Every structure is written in C-alpha cells, then in structure tokens.
Structure 1
Amino acid sequence: MGSTLKALLAPHADDLPAVGAPGRPWLSHGGLRRLAGAVAADLRAAGIGALDRVAIVLPNGPEMATAFVTIAQAAVTAPLNPGYRQEEFEFYLDDLKARALVIPQAYDGPALAAAEKLGIAVLRLVSGPELPAGRFSLAASGAAPSPAAAAEPGPDDIALILHTSGTTSRPKIVPLTQANVAASAEHIRETLALTPVDRCLNVMPLFHIHGLIAAVAASLSAGASIWCAPGFDALKFFGWMKDAEPSWYTAVPTMHQAILTRAERNREIIDATPLRFLRSSSASLPAQVMTALAETFGAPVVEAYGMTEAAHQMACNPLPPRAQKPGSVGVAAGPLVRIAHEVENRLITSTGEVVISGPNVTPGYEGNPDANARSFFMADGQRWFRTGDQGAFDGDGYLSLTGRLKEIINRGGEKISPLEVDGVLLDHPAVAQVVTFAMPHAKLGEEVAAAVVLREGISATEREIRDFAAGRMADFKVPRKVIILDEIPKGATGKMQRIGLAEKLGLADA
C-alpha cells in the first residue's frame, strides 16, 4: 500500500492523462508529479514546512483538484468552502491554525480579508486557460520569509484537515493522516476496480471529502484520469459528459435526481457515452432513484457509505456480478464494519450503531477529548469509531441504514426512521423529492413532518400525500405536516439536512 499520497501517485506512466477540464489540454501523470515538485519548492520558499497548515479557497475545477493533491504531498491541506462569509473564514482559519491561505490570482474576497486580519500569509495561485488543466504556480505576497526545511510528510503526518458539518454543535476538527488518505483512495480504487482506462467526471465540490478522495485521489491512485467540471449544473451535465467521455461519475442523491430530470432529452449522449457504473454517496440514495438511474444509463449504480472521519468510504454496493441492493449501502469496503450497542461499548448482531475500525479512520478529533471519549472505544481487540448512524446487516452481509441516531424522530416514545418515511412518500407518483424530519410538538416532544418537491406537470395536495402514506404505514409514522416546496433547502455540499429543517421552514413553534 502507498502509505503517503506521494507514494500512492508515484508508479504511473508519465504520458497517461491525469487531469482534464472544459476547453483545456490534459495534464499528464508525469506533469502532475513535476507540478508536485514545483509546488513543494514554492511552499518551502514561502516558509511553509511539512507540518504547516495551508487553507485552500479556490473555485471548483482542475486547479482545486491539483492544489489539493500537490500541496498535500508537501504540507497539511485544509480546503474551505469559497461561499463562506468573512466571519466564517475568520473562525475556520483561526480554528485550523492555518499558516497560509491559497487563493486565485485575482481574488479580493472575504477569505483574503480574514487572512489579512489574522496575519496569515497569502499565496496567490497563478494559472491560465492556455495551460494544461490544473497546472499552476504559487506566488507569495509580501516580504520573503526564511525558507522552510525540505523534509517530506511521513505516513503518520496529517495530510488533510476538514471540519464536521456542525449541524447540532460546534464543528469538530477532523485530521486525516497521509496513511488515512492513501488507504481510503486504495479502498475505493479496489472497490470500483479502477484502471488507467477509467475516467471520472467530477461534479462534486472539492472542499468536501467525497470529491477529494472518491473522485480525485482514487482516480489518480489507479493511473486513471479525472475531468473537472466547474461545479454542478444539471443543465450542462450532459454537454460535459459528451466532452469528457467518462467511464463513471460520483454524486450525491440530489445531483443524481437533477440529472435524471434531464436524461431523456439527452438520450443520444447517454447512448454514445456508455458508463461502466455510477456511484452515489454522502446521503441515502432512495431505492426508486437507484432503479431509475440504472435503467436510464444502462449501468450498475453502486451506492457507497462514507463520512469525513473515515476519509470517506466505509461500505459500498459491489460491482457485478455481485448484486447492487437498492436501499442498502452495500458491504464493508475497506475498514471493518460492525454494529455496536448504542450506549454500551460492546458489539452486537442486531440493529444498533454502525462502528468502524481500519487504516482510513482518523486518529481522533483535534483538541476535543470529550468527543473522542464518546466516539471511540475498544472491543474485541480493535479501536472502534462510532459513526452516529443506526443500521443492521442482512444475511448476505449488506448494510442498511435506518437513519442518523440524532435524526431518528421520537414521537412520544415511538421511534421513527425518516428514511423509511422518505421511501414510502417517494412511491407516490407525484413526488420527485422528499425529506422527512422532526418538528416540535408540545405533548409528544416530536412529530413527523415532510417536505416534498412534486414532479413537473403532476399535482398533488398535502391531504392526498398524507392519505397515500396512511395506507402504507402505521398511523404514528404518517407525517402530520407535508409541505410542498419548489426546492428543498440543501447544505453547501448538496445534501438535504434534516436537523434544523423545521426551524428553516417556520415549523419550530408548531
């Protein structure tokens, strides 16, 4: 196994394509290795050492992909969402103890203001449309500091730092070592049987673990190529597909659903660009959507289960000839995956909390001993991480999730899985998207509510949807409130967020 990112990317032929983008020449694997050497030299000249933290604020695209891959071979990367406000950048840059910030050459936004306020060094990324996709140089502003030592990061040094989403509490810092990142990239490469002939069309945001590891690092570790779109746009997706000629893409369920709405009018491109498989992760893929994707693209759909603390992948539906089970996140795909008692530190064989152990799992949250004490425990000679997800294995070893433990709705002592309600409502012919969530109730504590988006050209009332659900599930599970929306609010990475949705939709005082 390549125990560092540099070792992982070393063995591939120089002339193989590595990174592409709309209207740009390809950057080869040899070119990517040369770029990594130049970036390391730029960082050392700017006084940035192997253990120093470099925040990256760049738009989605090839430079974001290569900035992560190259800077992580020489220092600690901390990609941040370019959409943050100045106050958020100040919080994250300070919390990360960032030594430098990488921004586009002409950038003059809130990240720069935050860095200047905190006295953090600024490195401008210089590139151009005539250069191969992803090629750049780094230009330091201000007086040149003393150069840093040329030491390279080792397997146990941190490669990537991300924050958890913090939907219910202060975001936690998740450090991922070189060995964590390399192990996860290799797990995904093996799960998807990636080879140098594969090409991933990336539409995932590259400040998120899903895009960074599943799309970028796993592809490059196989000597394969990654074609970087400038973000996700359902209107442009099939044009990109035609240009990129990918063998696969990976996305969150909301993206897949948006792609499906435009698929039939792009049938020629789908037929001319056969995919080997499609991948979904980062949120539960409704069984109905998985089936529709497989039928539309004529390719298997592999749903994977990942999270930041695992450097992304934990389980995945296998490729043929093994079955892809709609509604399941598949079999263990890298780390050991087991079920633990939700309160006691022991493994069980029934429904409970999903726990993992393996080389891709973070050593622990930074500076948060309380969270580490709650999240890690020893059992059966292994150190296990509690995922916060509830689930169970079937007889074939496929894992099905029943929801986030914090998202399970407790209606007067009756526990309801939002995912189960989602699945029933999605069977209604008028419902295109749904997210079930808890809303406050004075006597019961919580009540079931759902937000839905209707299919184009099909109408339905709240009463019709509730009546449909009432004929298919126990009364206590039927949403007492169904809100019909044009669009369901989403987080920065495109995921629908159940926690806090009642407040967002004005139901917190219901």
Structure 2
Amino acid sequence: MPRPLVAVGASDPFAVLRGLEAALAGGPALLPVAERTPALPTRPPADVAQRVALVVETSGSTGTGKRVALSSEALLAGAAAADAALGGPGAWVLALPTHYIAGLNVLTRSIAAGSTPVVVPAGHFDPAGFADAAAQLVTDRSAPRRYTSLVPVQLARVLDDERATAALAAFDAVLVGGQATPVTLRDRAREAGVPIVTTYGASETSGGCVYDGVPLGPVHAAVDDGELLLAGPMLAEGYLGDDDRTARTFTERDGQRWYRTGDAGEVVDGRVRVVGRLDDVVISGGEKVALGAVERIVRGVPGHEGAVVTRRASGEWGEVPVVVTDRPLDLDAVRTAVGDALGRAARPAEVVVLDRLPMLPSGKPDRRAVRAIVDPTA
C-alpha cells in the first residue's frame, strides 16, 4: 500500500521535526523543501512505497538532481550507530539546513534521544548566534551529552570568535563533514580544545557513517576498481522515479547491497581514506590530475581552508587546475607546493580571487557556479 508524501518547508525546522517524528512513527513520508533553491525538473510523486519515510532532494554541487528515498529503519540504524560511536545519546544544537541530510540527522538523533534541539537562527551563519544557541542547550539524564554538527566553513568562523570557540569546546563531540576538513583547520580546533569528529557519508547512507576514517559499527567499506563502496543497514532504498540510476548506484557484491559512492578511496587496516571524486579528474598535458588532491594542498595554506580548485579549458594543455579563493594567495608558492607533492601537471595555472565564494545553503561551495566563473564557455 503506498504512503502519502508530504512536503514541508525547511525554513521552519520545528515543522520539519514534527513531520519527521510522524514519518518515523509510520505516518506520511516527509519531503523537506528549501524555498530559495531551484526546484528539480520533475514534480515529486503524491505517494511513495510504504517503506519510505523520508525523501531528500539534492541538486548536488557537481551533478544532476535526485530524490533519495530513506526508510525509518535506515535513519534509526544510522542514529543508533552514531550514538554508540559518540558515547551515548545527547542534546543537539542545529546549525545546518533541514533539507540536507546532515541537518535531518540532527533531528533524527534528537528524536531518538527524546531531546529537543536548539536551533541557530537561519540565514548567514553567525558565531555569536551559535554561542547563544549553545548557552540554551539543556541536557537531562536520558541524553546527558552535548553535540552539534557543522561544515568546515562554519567551524572556521566559530574559531575566529573567542566566545563561540569557548562554547564549542564545551561540547562532547562536534561533527564536521559535508566536505573534506583541511588539516590546518582540524589542528586549530583541537588546539582550542574542540572535540571534533570528521565525518564522511551521503544522503544515500543516511548521512555520516564513517567517523575519523572508521566505519560505524554495522557499516562496511570496500574498494572496487578504485571506487569506495559502503554497505550497512543505513543505505537508502534508492532514487524516486529513477530505477536506472538506482541500479547503477546500489549493487550486489559478496552477498551484500552496496552503495557506489563515486569517490576514489582506499581502505587500509579498516580505515577509510577518500582521495577525491572519480569524475573530478582532468587530463593536463596528457597526465591525469585529481583536482581533489590539488585542493587538499591548497586548503592546507592557512586562511584558505575554503578554497576551491576547479578546471578550465586550455588550448595548450587540454585542461588546467585553477584555484578560486576569497583572499590573496601567492600563485608561485602554491604551484611549488602542489608540484612538489603531485608533479608538474598538477600545478594550478591561476589563482582567481572573489569577494565571496558561491555557496550552497548546506555550507558547501557551489562548484558549478565556481566553474562557470572560471570557464564561462564550459
């Protein structure tokens, strides 16, 4: 029997919270909708399969739009595995949009813990607003720990504010994900006493399911032809209205159902290391260059933790890496650092400085917008 799908505006986190509570209890499935983001080209269905409790729409920072269908079992399995890894259920500060899986995870884990999250005011992330929200957080015996989840750019802003840093240091765990966290930013946080936990996952895995490189309890990781695969009870049902994409992305292997992440990675002694996107490779002068590897080196430069490395067509080389950042950066120094680590072909051709980097509401860089600025003809 189909289950009705109800859209709720994500600008009201508590309306999303109520809708998610109902969905997890067997009520109508929930579709959180962001009012100020482009709609997907097709309308969502009026109902979904009975197993589906939550649908997450994502246009992605580089790919095409999709609707990820998640069951109650997957969401709650992910929450239980995370609580076990973090030391128990807790009370949360919500600083992320609730139409993205990381924000929805905060709500799911709050529901599972029987706690009510404190919400940071919507709009441009403000460290003072975060500190105010942290001051309101109340824990109890059933959920005595304090948690929050941030993207790297939010963490960097908090660390620039003394009061917000002190508030963050009082948490039991600060999850940081959505994109790779630069080593320099991690070091800054830990020196300030902030207990960060780097996370890796996707909407298709009910959010973060690898913490500090270690898969959570029921999660399995493997590599197939250089691509990182993940398995476990937290996997999505698939994509609404796109059976072909579902079949390509979720595969059977070794008697288990696996999610093909599209990321290049490796698993060594049980630890996961993500190298970059498989499709984020340029051929420059006949040599393959992983833009993610170049970006990690650039983000290691203090003050440039949010820099983006994109591609641009070149009549001489085919394609070249280009650094896009929001403050001056010495091109020669970056070319030397990248060349020493990755070889001559990986050296960026240019540094483009913008007043402000294009960002998605999730806090991730809008890579398609960045690419359009650097190479309008692409």
Indicate the SS of the match to 1:247.
Answer: strand
Matches of residues 146-161 of structure 1 in structure 2 within 5 Å?
157-161=51-55
- Structure 1: which amino acid aligns with 2:253? A
Task: Using the aligned pairs only, state the percent identity.
Answer: 23
1:226 aligned to which of 99, 117, 122: 117
CA distance in 2, matches of 1:433, 1:249: 20
Q: Which residue of 2 aligns with 1:203?
A: 95
Give the drift of 1:67: 3.0
1:285 aligned to which of 181, 185, 202: 181
The count of aligned residue pairs is: 369
1:242 aligned to which of 135, 143, 154: 135
- Structure 2: which amino acid aligns with 1:230? P
Q: Which residue of 2 aligns with 1:165?
A: 59
Q: Is the 8 A contact 2:308 2:324 kept in 1?
A: yes
1:84 aligned to which of 30, 34, 37: 37
Matches of residues 338-353 of structure 1 in structure 2 within 5 Å?
338-341=222-225, 352-353=226-227
Give the drift of 1:309: 1.1
Could you list the per-position Cα deviations for residues 435-492 of structure 1 after superposition, in whole angstroms to 9, with x for gaps in the alignment?
A: 11222223543211111233xxxx5444444345445542211111111223221112
CA distance 1:472–1:257, shift in 2 (3 Å) = same
Q: Which residue of 1 aligns with 2:108?
A: 217
CA distance in 2, matches of 1:381, 1:465: 46
CA distance 1:82–1:384, shift in 2 (3 Å) = same
CA distance 1:58–1:440, shift in 2 (3 Å) = same
Structure 1: give runs of 5+ residues left out of the alignment.
1-48, 100-152, 318-328, 342-351
- Structure 1: which amino acid aligns with 2:45? K
Could you list the per-position Cα deviations for residues 358-417 of structure 1 after superposition, in whole angstroms to 9, with x for gaps in the alignment?
A: 22112222232321232233221122221111101233x211111111223332442323
Q: Is the 8 A contact 1:314 1:333 kept in 2?
A: no
Indicate the SS of the match to 2:190.
Answer: helix
Q: Which residue of 2 aligns with 1:274?
A: 170
- Structure 2: which amino acid aligns with 1:498? R
Could you list the per-position Cα deviations for residues 292-330 of structure 1 after superposition, in whole angstroms to 9, with x for gaps in the alignment?
A: 11222x14311111111111133112xxxxxxxxxxx33
CA distance 1:97–1:507, shift in 2 (3 Å) = same
Indicate yes or no: 2:191 matched with 1:307: no
- Structure 1: which amino acid aligns with 2:21? V
Q: Is the 8 A contact 1:55 1:98 kept in 2?
A: no
CA distance in 2, matches of 1:265, 1:357: 40
Matches of residues 368-407 of structure 1 in structure 2 within 5 Å?
368-395=242-269, 397-407=270-280
Indicate yes or no: 2:313 matched with 1:440: yes
CA distance in 1, matches of 2:316, 2:362: 35
Q: Is the 8 A contact 1:377 1:384 kept in 2?
A: yes
- Structure 1: which amino acid aligns with 2:56? L
CA distance 1:497–1:402, shift in 2 (3 Å) = farther
CA distance 1:235–1:441, shift in 2 (3 Å) = farther
Could you list the per-position Cα deviations for residues 167-202 of structure 1 after superposition, in whole angstroms to 9, with x for gaps in the alignment?
A: 55542222112222222222222222223xx32111
Q: Is the 8 A contact 1:313 1:334 kept in 2?
A: no
Matches of residues 185-200 of structure 1 in structure 2 within 5 Å?
185-195=79-89, 198-200=90-92
CA distance in 2, matches of 1:413, 1:307: 32
Q: Is the 8 A contact 2:285 2:345 kept in 1?
A: no
CA distance in 1, matches of 2:84, 2:282: 37
Q: Is the 8 A contact 1:315 1:334 kept in 2?
A: no
- Structure 1: which amino acid aligns with 2:218? G
Q: Which residue of 2 aligns with 1:321?
A: none
* Bigger mean CA deviation after superposition, 168-177 or 304-313: 168-177
Give the drift of 1:500: 5.2
CA distance in 2, matches of 1:473, 1:367: 41
- Structure 2: which amino acid aligns with 1:202? L
Give the drift of 1:509: 4.1
Matches of residues 325-336 of structure 1 in structure 2 within 5 Å?
329-336=213-220
Indicate the SS of the match to 1:257.
Answer: helix
CA distance in 2, matches of 1:265, 1:53: 42
- Structure 2: which amino acid aligns with 1:223? G
Give the drift of 1:218: 1.6
CA distance in 2, matches of 1:399, 1:57: 35
- Structure 2: which amino acid aligns with 1:184? G
Give the drift of 1:251: 1.1
- Structure 2: which amino acid aligns with 1:307? A
Matches of residues 51-130 of structure 1 in structure 2 within 5 Å?
51-73=3-25, 74-84=27-37, 88=39, 91=41, 94=43, 96-98=44-46
CA distance 1:473–1:65, shift in 2 (3 Å) = same
**What is the root-mean-square deviation of aligned Cα atoms in Å?**
2.8
- Structure 2: which amino acid aligns with 1:174? V
Q: Which residue of 2 aligns with 1:138?
A: none
CA distance in 2, matches of 1:278, 1:79: 24
- Structure 1: which amino acid aligns with 2:107? V
Give the drift of 1:209: 0.9
Could you list the per-position Cα deviations for residues 88-109 of structure 1 after superposition, in whole angstroms to 9, with x for gaps in the alignment?
A: 27x45x2x1237xxxxxxxxxx
State TM-score, norm by structure 2: 0.87
Q: Is the 8 A contact 2:312 2:374 kept in 1?
A: no
Indicate yes or no: 2:221 matched with 1:337: yes
Give the drift of 1:429: 4.1
Determine which structure has more spread, i.e. the larger CA radius of gyration. Answer: 1
Structure 2: give runs of 5+ residues left out of the alignment.
139-144
CA distance 1:362–1:471, shift in 2 (3 Å) = closer
Q: Which residue of 2 aligns with 1:477?
A: 346
CA distance in 2, matches of 1:367, 1:429: 44
Q: Which residue of 2 aligns with 1:425?
A: 298
Q: Which residue of 1 aligns with 2:141?
A: none
CA distance in 2, matches of 1:201, 1:50: 34
- Structure 1: which amino acid aligns with 2:149? T
Give the drift of 1:433: 2.7
CA distance 1:473–1:359, shift in 2 (3 Å) = closer
Give the drift of 1:50: 7.1
Q: Which residue of 1 aligns with 2:142?
A: none
CA distance in 1, matches of 2:297, 2:93: 32
Give the drift of 1:282: 1.7
Indicate the SS of the match to 2:239.
Answer: coil
Q: Which residue of 2 aligns with 1:451?
A: 324
